[in-house]
Amino acid sequence: MGVAGAAALAGCSDSDGTPTEGGGGGNGDDANGGDGNDGGGDGSDGGDTATDGSGMNGTATGTASSVSGEVTIGVLQPMSGNLSYYGQQGLWGFLSGLAYKAGADPAGMVGTGETTVTVGDVDYRLLVRDTEFLADSAQSAATSLVRDDDVDMLFGCSSSSAAERVIGQVVTQAQVPFVAGPAASAAITSSGDYCSDLVFRASENTAMDARSGGRYVANETDVSRVFLFGADYSFGRAVVNNYESVLQNNGVEIVGKRFVEQGYAEWDGLLDNAEEAGAEGIVGGFTVTTLPNLFSSFLSGDYSYRAFGGFATQITNQVVGNTMESVLGSPLTAEKIENSQLGPFTTRYHWNQYDNEINDAFVDSYTNTYEVVPDLFTSGTFTAASAVHQAVQTSGSTEGADIAGAMKGMTVADTPKGEDGYTFQEYNNQARSEMTVASPVPTSDEYADSWGASIMPGEPQARISGDNATIPADSPDMNCSL
């Protein structure tokens, strides 16, 4: 591939509460970036009930009639504000996972309130609460759900700081199982402060972004020298540290590191510094407040390195696409993008990265129901719901403790990444799953109405196995041993 570079931005939110997305080189959001409402719908109908019947085309599994009863799940997601799309993705993915198990279409624009989804003889009573993307609100809602509604388990949080607060102040105290997602801080399942037998996560995390991206750069390109950039707070430092570890372990030299404040705009000089240091690539751990400035300078300059990174959600791809159009000219063409030296990028999940019957059914029903294609977070939360129902069937119980016990070490049968596509690691209850690498391409006419950005992932160019994407048990970065 010749000289190349790396730019990465990972996760759904950092530990300070700033939402960020999987991907780098321009693929991140923060509370001030984008309007966050492009997912469609205000989610005001809290009373829909999905039942068995015609709907999603696919083979529903694990609906044995031997288990009956009700599972009450407290759902914690930002359902209002400029990041409501994150909450919608998380909830829609979860609803789709349950619907797939029932052989039905998912409930529609569900918002805060109560929604029941029936799978076989089991009723899943979902009590949806709006966290407003605030840790305080998430803690308050979780406390009420446990104390007043006697939920069997909790699911959700798009903000990692909210998830960590819920774990520390509610889950640990009340001993109620919690499935985190799409909150993506690696610490949730790698730090002894948060990981526990009660905490599970199917959703991909920041370490998986960095480890898969770093492995691709090290093993699939001829990059041997990298300069690391990051935002000067926990998220940016986490991205840089994860990339540094993976790249060095794979023989790539780190020729420099630099942390800058959010919104930094003087990129010409720093990019020149990376060139002078002999870098063949850069890593940038930033959110959308900084990335457009970085991208504008990179695209406008003449640098010998290429920018790798990761695809994020529709919201960030809108910003990235707009930035590319402003520099490269509109409309974007495949040739313009290829010549820009941006990509290929890694992705946790996008609708066109997996070709299997489960994903085909998921994409069709999700798009028909919500008028947008499944996005970055939806595979992980689909799998969370699929895992819960599988655990109910495996344990023969609707009790939260029994469900959690059955999820330990579980390989999830039905997932958008294919049959048996996710496995919960016994040492930290984080599900490992495959990641893909693809180049950005102009959004095709087929998805013009269901993907509100001018760029989208192209065909998969590489796949990184779950074993290589997750932090191994014996890594110094893994401080969880269950």
pLDDT category at 65 given cuts 50, 70, 90 is very low
Q: Shortest CA distance to 358 belongs to which of 374, 346, 376?
A: 374
Mean pLDDT to the nearest integer, 126-138: 97
CATH 3.40.50.10420 fits 49-204+378-433, yes or no: no
Average of per-residue pLDDT values in the chain:
86
pLDDT tens digits, 360-376: 999 999 999 999 999 99
72 pLDDT above the threshold of 90: yes
Residue 21 is predicted with a pLDDT of 56
108-138 as b/e, with b when 16 or more CB fall inside 10 Å? ebbbbbebbbbbbebbbbbbbbbbbbbbebb
Higher pLDDT, 329 or 9: 329
Residues 233-242: tens digit of each pLDDT: 877 787 788 8
What does the pLDDT read at residue 287? 73
- Give residue 402's pLDDT: 98
49-204+378-433 and 207-352+435-469 agree in CATH topology: yes
pLDDT grade for 434, boundaries at 50, 70 and 90? very high
List the CATH code of the domain at 207-352+435-469.
Answer: 3.40.50.2300
- Digit-coded pLDDT (tens) for 250-281: 999 999 999 999 899 999 999 999 999 999 99
Kindly report the backbone phi and psi dihedral angles of residue 44, in degrees, each rounded to the nearest multiple of 5, phi listed first. -85, -15
Does 142 have pLDDT greater than 80?
yes
Break the chain into its structural domains and give their ranges.
49-204+378-433, 207-352+435-469
pLDDT at 438: 93
Q: 320-352, pLDDT tens digit by residue?
A: 899 999 999 999 999 999 999 888 888 999 999
Which pLDDT score is estimated for 300? 92
Would the pTM count as exceeding 0.85? yes
The pLDDT assigned to 103 comes to 96
- Amino acid at the residue 230: G
Cβ atoms 218, 252 nearer than 8 A: yes
Q: Report CA dihedral (471, 473, 476, 478) to the nearest 10 degrees.
A: 60
pLDDT value of position 332: 94
Q: Rounded mean pLDDT of 145-173?
A: 97
Better-predicted residue by pLDDT, 25 or 396: 396
pLDDT (tens digit per residue) in 440-451: 999 999 999 999
**What confidence score (pLDDT) does residue 311 get?**
85
28 within 8 A of 292, measured Cβ to Cβ:
no
Neighbouring C-beta atoms of residue 188, cutoff 10 Å: 30
Beta pairing partners, 346: 310, 437
CA 163/CA 21 separation, integer angstroms: 16
Report d(CA 226, CA 34) in Å as an integer.
30
